Amino acid sequence: MSILNADLHCHSVVSDGTLEPEALAARARANGVDLWALTDHDEVGGQHRAREAAGVHGMAYLTGTEISISFADTTVHIIGLGFDPDNVALQTGLRATRGGREARARDMAASLAQVGIHGAFEGALRYVSNPELISRTHFARHLVESGVCNDTYEVFRKYLVEGKPGYVPHRWASLGDSVRWITQAGGIAVIAHPGRYKFTPNEEYALFSEFKTHGGQGVEVVTGSHTTSDYSKYADTALEFGLLASRGSDFHSPAESHIDLGALPALPKKLTPVWEALSERVQHP
């Protein structure tokens, strides 16, 4: 089939989204998506439901996840696409990556308490569906609902980010482990939204070259987290490093996300879409 509208990045209640996988599938289809991937943070628990729901709506599906890693003292996200969701090594690695989240969340709440915001752990927990996946997004929802901030954008300016109350440094998976978990499960690893990291040019070069050395093959070029100038910058990076290009909204919630599923510009024509290399892995409806 010829893919017109691929959206290979979004989140359900299995991580920090607000919609069930089935509701996301319906929304993606209504927005004209014809190839979809659900990419919950550090989790593949929604994959079977998402794949089935995609089929119900006549959409092609690729399995997905978004792995949190630490690189050069920065949290970076690596997307996996087209892997076997039942692969044991991948599942074990993801479980270990999720493992530190509860202790981190308690430390985040303690840091918020120091500026007079009490009960944030319990507050955030009310928004969590998957107990292993308490994230900053759940804290952000609680801080908005309890009137501390007007919206989640304000939260991520004033709290939960480096140098602000509620920020707790954390050691995630390594770059090499994340790429290996994905590729050994038959998938392709993709650097998510590179425009979001505050790397120096040297650090960014190191990320891309080490990623390639470990067997990484793709980069997200068109994503809800990028500006239009990021689109052209990372299109050039894809060509420079010989990487496949991906496209995904990073949709989390109808109330919070400014880019809806399937509502992004097309990839620049000079790039090779990641799904062309994954045609064997696409689940057709």
Can you tell me the distance from the alpha carbon of 118 to that of 113, in angstroms, rounded to the nearest whole number?
5
Among 9, 27, 29, 41, binds ligand AMP (CB under 6 A): 41
User: Does 197 participate in binding ligand AMP (rule CB under 6 A)?
Assistant: no
For Mn ion, the closer CB: 17 or 285:
17
User: Does 250 participate in binding Mn ion (rule CB under 5 A)?
Assistant: yes
Minimum distance, C-beta of residue 97 to ligand AMP, in the bound complex (Å): 10
Query: Kind and range of the H or E element at 218?
Result: strand 218-223
Can you tell me the distance from the alpha carbon of 206 to that of 208, in angstroms, rounded to the nearest whole number?
6
User: Does 135 participate in binding ligand AMP (rule CB under 6 A)?
Assistant: yes
Count of C-beta atoms within a 10 Å radius of residue 42:
26
119 token code pair: 């009960």
Closest-by-Cβ residue to ligand AMP is 135
Minimum distance, C-beta of residue 242 to ligand AMP, in the bound complex (Å): 28
Count of C-beta atoms within a 10 Å radius of residue 92:
11
Among 29, 77, 226, 247, binds Mn ion (CB under 5 A): 77
Residue 221 backbone phi and psi in degrees, to 5: -105, -50
Can you tell me the distance from the alpha carbon of 36 to that of 24, in angstroms, rounded to the nearest whole number?
10
Among 189, 252, 278, 282, binds ligand AMP (CB under 6 A): 252
Can you tell me the distance from the alpha carbon of 87 to that of 9, in angstroms, rounded to the nearest whole number?
20
Among 47, 152, 217, 237, binds ligand AMP (CB under 6 A): 152
For ligand AMP, the closer CB: 159 or 181:
159
Question: Which residue, 101, 110, 24, is CA-closest to 64?
Answer: 24
For ligand AMP, the closer CB: 18 or 57:
18
Task: Write out the residues near Mn ion by the rule CB under 5 A.
Answer: 16, 66, 77, 192, 250
Task: Write out the residues near ligand AMP by the rule CB under 6 A.
Answer: 16, 41, 68, 135-137, 152-153, 156, 252
